[in-house]
Amino acid sequence: MDQNEEAISKTENSLSFSTLKSHRSWLEIRLFYVRISPCLIDSVPECLTLCHPKREIGFSLVINGSPIPAPSSAPPLPLRRDRVDKESAEVTYVSTDNVRITGGAEFEVYEKNGLFLCGSLERLDVDLGNGSGWDMDCHVAVGSIGSGSSAFFRPKLGVSAPSVEVYVAGCCSGVPVILSKTISLSPRRRVPRHAILDAIPEDEEMNMMEKDHVSAMNGLIPHPKLQVLFLFLIHLV
């Protein structure tokens, strides 16, 4: 083998190794679901929308076999209402679209046009015990709770603290990957109204006492109780 053939052989081996390494780094998502409980079953939407708005530079995103260029936004994917349990007031939304990523990527779930929850998938250098080296984090959007537009937050109807579970299943390098995150929401604590109302007269009373003290120092006693006491003292004199 001459030098040219040897160089070509090394190049081919390098490309094959690079391709294999790249292929093994893919996280292939085959199932993505969101489970919400409790909720008002009769008012929940039939579908949510899953979006992948952003990913780290240098990483690839492929949806249903179609590569998504880095500058472009990925097409939205439907999360169909799959299971409704009226006894537990639980609803599950599922997507079986094939999504492949090679690195960190963000995702968002929309309820109609409003952001419901957001999260991220991240490849880690240290295995967290799930055998894949991948991690997921997600949060419920604050706007969906406070705006009152979400069908999953109805405090006036008794639904103010639902539990939201996000579940991702797939594989990486031939190893099954299961990532899950449960978000438990608690209603905001409010200061009792009577406590606020009780504090107002007390503050006013303190102000009145201060004014009475100043007036008394100037020879004026406007307070009725102090007037009676002043007249009583004069009578004694």
Answer yes or no: do 177 and 231 share one domain. no
Instruction: Give the separation between CA 145 and CA 123, rounded to whole angstroms.
Output: 30
In a domain, 175, yes or no: yes
Banded pLDDT at 33 (limits 50, 70, 90): very high
Q: Looking at the structure, tell me whether residues 116 and 217 fall in a common domain.
A: no
Calculate the alpha carbon distances from 157 to 1, 40, 83, 151 in Å: 80, 9, 22, 11
Domain end call among 184, 202, 227: 184
Give residue-wise pLDDT tens across range 188-232. 544 344 333 444 445 555 555 555 544 444 444 444 444 544 444
CB of 168 closer than 8 Å to CB of 178: yes
Are 138 and 181 in contact, with CB atoms under 8 Å apart? Answer: yes
Q: Report yes or no on 11 lying in a domain.
A: no
Spatial separation of the C-alpha atoms in residues 146 and 112, rounded to whole Å: 16
59 within some domain: yes
Of the chain, the end-to-end C-alpha distance in Å amounts to: 131
The type of residue at 191 is: V
Regarding whether 197 and 88 lie in a shared domain, the answer is no
Query: Is residue 72 one of the residues assigned to a domain?
Result: yes
- Looking at the structure, do residues 176 and 70 belong to the same domain, yes or no? yes
Q: 234: burial class by Cβ within 10 Å (0-12, 13-18, 19+)?
A: exposed
- Is the same domain home to 169 and 202? no
**Strand bridging mode 61-63 / 66-67:** antiparallel
Both 199 and 173 in a single domain?
A: no
State whether 138 and 121 are in the same domain.
Answer: yes
- Report pLDDT digits (tens) over 35-52: 999 988 888 999 999 999
> CA 174 to CA 28: how far, in whole Å?
10
Q: Are residues 205 and 124 in the same domain?
A: no
Q: How many domains does the chain have?
A: 2
Q: What is the pLDDT of residues 81-90, one digit of tens each?
A: 999 998 989 9
- What mean pLDDT do residues 140-167 have? 80
pLDDT of residue 210: 53
Whether residue 16 lies inside any domain: the answer is: no
Domain membership flag for residue 171: yes
Tens digit of each residue's pLDDT (9 = 90 or more) over 49-78? 999 987 777 889 999 999 998 777 789 999
Q: Residue 177 belongs to what domain range?
A: 25-184
Asked if residue 177 and residue 105 are part of one domain, the reply reads yes
Residues 175 and 222 in one domain: no
- Identify the burial level of 27 via C-beta atoms within 10 angstroms of its C-beta, where 0-12 means exposed, 13-18 middle and 19 or more buried: buried
* Predicted TM-score (pTM) of this structure: 0.67
User: Would you call 53 helix, strand, or coil by DSSP?
Assistant: coil
174 plus 199 within the same structural domain: no
